[in-house]
Amino acid sequence: MRGEFELIASLYAPLSAGAPGAFGLRNDGALIELAAGEQSVVTVDAMVEGVHYLPDDPADAVAQKLLRVNLSDLAAMGAEPRGYLLATCLGPTIDDAWLERFVAGLAADQKSYGVTLLGGDTTRTPGPTCLSLTAFGAVPTGRCLERSTLRPGELLYVSGTIGDAALGLDLLQGRLELESEADRAFLAGRYRLPRPRTLLGPALLGLASAGLDVSDGLVADAGHLAEESRVGIEIETAAVPLSAAARAALDARPELLARVLTGGDDYELLFGVAEARAAAVPALAARLGLPLTRIGRAVAAERGTVRVLDAEGRPLTLGRGGWTHF
Ligand SMILES: Nc1ncnc2c1ncn2[C@@H]1O[C@H](COP(=O)(O)OP(=O)(O)O)[C@@H](O)[C@H]1O
Ligand SMILES: Cc1ncc(C[n+]2csc(CCOP(=O)(O)OP(=O)(O)O)c2C)c(N)n1
Ligand SMILES: [Mg+2]
Ligand SMILES: [Mg+2]
Ligand SMILES: [Mg+2]
C-alpha cells in the first residue's frame, strides 16, 4: 500500500487539476471563487461501510455514491455543483487496487457533474471504512430552495421513481427475489448509484415553493418538509411513481408498498408548486426527460403530519416513515 503523501500526490492531486484554488492539493486549504450575485451552498454527508453501502460494493460505485448523495443535497437547494472536499478513514481491508478504483469513480463523476476535488483528509481506522464528502455549489443570491416555505394548498411533486434503491438493497441482502435479471440489475443499480437531480434543482428556482431530497424515505422526508413548513402533507400512494421493476416486485408482494414509501436511498427531489404555476411542471419534465409526478398536496393540518392515502382515499398506517440512525 502506497504511503499517505504518495497516495495524495498520485491519486487525489490529478482530481484537483483545473481548480486554481486547490493549489494542486499542496496547501493547507483551498480557495473558492464565486461570481457576483452568487451565494455558495455547502453540504456534507458521511457514508459508513455496512451502514450506507455494502462491503463488497465496487469501489468506483462507492465513490460515486458518496459524491452523488451530496450533489443531491445541492440540487435540493437549487444549487449548481462546483467542487468538493473528501475525508476518508480507511479500514483494514482497503488496498491500492480498491483506492485506484475509488478514484476512477470520482474521476468519471467529476466529468459528468462538472465538479473538482479541492482538498480533503486521509486517515486509517481499525474499524469499518468511513467516508465523508463536503460539496459546495452556487445559487443566485437569495433564491435558494428551502424546506420551510411550503404553504397549504400547494401541490407536491416528486422526481423519478420511488422505492427502487430500497428494493435493490432487499435483493442484494436476500430478502427479495425477482424473476427478471434485468429488473434485479436495475434495482441493485439504483441502490448502488443514485442519480442526483442536478439539472432539476436549479430549474426549480422560481417554480417550486419549497423542496428537499428524499434520502431517509418518502414519508419521513415529506414529514421533514411538513415540519419545517408548519403544515401537513397528504400523499396519494396510487400516484407515487414506480419503475417497471418496482411494480413487478409490488405485484408479486403487495406488502412491499410500505418498504417503497419508507425505505429511502431514493435521492429524488420532493417539492411544492403553487397550483397556479403547476402547468409549467410537465413542460419542465419534458425538457429534462425526467418524470415529475404529482403525488399529493400540503394541507392546513397539525405541523409535520403526513397522511398517506390508499387508492380508495383511506389513510394507511406505516409505522416508521423512514431511516433514522438512532
Ligand atoms: N453533526 C452535525 N453538525 C451540524 N449540523 C448537522 C449535523 N448533523 C446534521 N446536521 C444538520 O441537520 C440538518 C439535517 O441533516 P440531515 O438529516 O443529514 O439532512 P440531509 O438528509 O439533507 O442530509 C442539516 O441542515 C444538517 O446540516
Ligand atoms: C448496507 C445498507 N443498509 C441500510 C441502508 C439504508 N440506509 C442507510 S442510511 C439511509 C438514509 C440516508 O442516509 P443518511 O446518513 O441519513 O443520509 P442523509 O439523510 O443525511 O442524506 C438508508 C436508507 C443502506 N443504504 N445500506
Ligand atoms: Mg445529511
Ligand atoms: Mg437532503
Ligand atoms: Mg438521513
Assess whether the C-beta atom of 132 lies below 6 angstroms from ligand 1.
no
Burial class (CB in 10 A: 0-12, 13-18, 19+), 173: exposed
Fold of 155-316: Phosphoribosyl-aminoimidazole Synthetase; Chain A, domain 2 (3.90.650)
Find how far residue 251's CA is from the centre of its chain: 27
Whether 80 has a pLDDT exceeding 90, the answer reads: yes
At the top level of CATH, the class of 4-140 is: alpha beta
Q: Give CA angle at 239 (233, 242), nearest 5°.
A: 115
**CA nearest ligand 1 atom 18, residue:** 45
Span from the CA of 73 to the centroid of ligand 2 (angstroms) = 14
Residues 6 or more apart from 10 whose CB is under 8 A from it? Answer: 2
Mean pLDDT calculated for residue range 136-159: 98
Residue ranges of E strands in 141-205? 155-159
* Ligand located closest to 323 CA: 2
Span from the CA of 45 to the centroid of ligand 3 (angstroms) = 5
On whether 265 is known to bind a ligand per the annotation, the reply is yes
Burial class (CB in 10 A: 0-12, 13-18, 19+), 31: exposed
Find the length of the chain. Answer: 326
Assess whether the C-beta atom of 265 lies below 6 angstroms from ligand 2.
yes
pLDDT tens profile 2-56? 899 999 999 999 999 989 999 999 999 999 999 999 999 999 999 999 999 999 9
Strand, helix or coil for residue 183: helix
pLDDT of 285 reads: 98
pLDDT tens profile 292-322? 999 999 999 999 999 999 999 999 999 889 9
Delimit the domains of the chain by residue range: 4-140, 155-316
Assess whether the C-beta atom of 213 lies below 6 angstroms from ligand 2.
no
C-alpha dist (Å) from residue 312 to 20, 236, 296: 58, 9, 14
- Please give the single-letter amino acid code of residue 287: R
Could you give the maximum distance between any two Cα atoms of the chain, in Å?
Answer: 62
pLDDT of 236 reads: 98
On whether 183 is known to bind a ligand per the annotation, the reply is no
pLDDT tens profile 84-138? 999 999 999 999 999 999 999 999 999 999 999 999 999 999 999 999 999 999 9
For the full predicted model, state whether its pTM sits above 0.95.
yes
DSSP 314: P
Share of the chain above pLDDT 90, in %: 98
CA 197/CA 213 separation, integer angstroms? 9
Share of the chain above pLDDT 70, in %: 100
Residue 125, C-alpha cell as written in the block: 481506522
Assess whether the C-beta atom of 227 lies below 6 angstroms from ligand 1.
no
Q: Closest Cα partner for 235 from 308, 293, 131, 319? A: 308
pLDDT of 59 reads: 98
Assess whether the C-beta atom of 73 lies below 6 angstroms from ligand 1.
yes
Span from the CA of 254 to the centroid of ligand 3 (angstroms) = 31
pLDDT of 129 reads: 98
Whether 72 has a pLDDT exceeding 90, the answer reads: yes
Assess whether the C-beta atom of 64 lies below 6 angstroms from ligand 1.
no
Mean pLDDT for the chain overall: 97
In this prediction, residue 263 has a pLDDT band, given cuts at 50, 70 and 90, of very high
- Between the CA atoms of 19, 25, 28 and 32, what dihedral angle is there, to the nearest 10 degrees? 10
Quick one: which H or E segment has residue 57? Answer: none
More confident residue, 160 or 311: 160
CA 146/CA 149 separation, integer angstroms? 6
Atom of ligand 1 nearest to the CA of 45: 23
